[in-house]
Copies of this chain bind each other. A is one copy, B any other.
């Protein structure tokens, strides 16, 4: 295995240790020291791969983005355009343990980015992920539109924003009260929402 791959694997191991710390103890507990302890490494070794904490946080966020993108690219869905659209959206919703962890980390990062003033790399990252999800909503609604299944006269831009907000709201509710807003309920509500847009 070439050294560059080792380096990347080590960085991913550290990012995963960061996720475990953030999920278990909150983002305020995530420091080079606690992450090193979680990974079973020395703080110095962690600093070799990530000289500063912001770099580490950003890498962990990039990893979320990359994994979501990989899952979406790997999708091969058959069925109606609605079924396909819903299947894509499920990849960004916290419907299983992995995706819930991704959402928890995302939530902690949003909260932290909100607290930072000015232009921070953390904030730019939050923007990028946020824009990415809106673009996914946009592509899916455009696909439904081109398939001719949408109601006539819909304001597509408005519907993209409404769908995007609904998705993030459902994800948030799934995180706050997983018993009430579980995966099955999130799927039902999302399917219902898409159905209200169909002719």
Contacts and interface: CB of A to CB of B under 8 A. Distances in A.
Interface of A: 22-30, 104, 107-108, 110-117, 126-127, 130, 158, 161-162, 164-170, 172-173, 175-177, 181, 185, 188-189, 192-193, 196
A126 B158 CA distance: 30
A127 B179 CA distance: 12
A169 B164 contact: yes
**Total copies of the chain:** 2
B108 A176 contact: no
Majority DSSP secondary structure for residues of A touching B:
helix
Contacts of A173: 130, 161, 164-165, 168
Contacts of A23: 114-115
Contacts of A164: 169, 173
Contact of A26 (B25, B111, B175): B111
B115 A111 contact: no
Contacts of A172: 110, 165, 168-169, 172
Nearest to A122: B26
A101 B172 CA distance: 19
B27 A111 contact: yes
Given A26-B116, A27-B28, A176 B127 contact: yes
B115 A176 contact: no
Nearest to A117: B24
24 contacts: A22-B115, A23-B115, A26-B27, A26-B114, A26-B115, A27-B28, A27-B115, A104-B111, A110-B111, A111-B111, A114-B176, A127-B176, A127-B177, A130-B176, A130-B177, A158-B188, A158-B189, A161-B181, A165-B169, A165-B170, A167-B169, A168-B168, A168-B172, A168-B173
Given A127-B176, A166-B166, A181-B161, A107 B117 contact: no
A189 B162 contact: yes
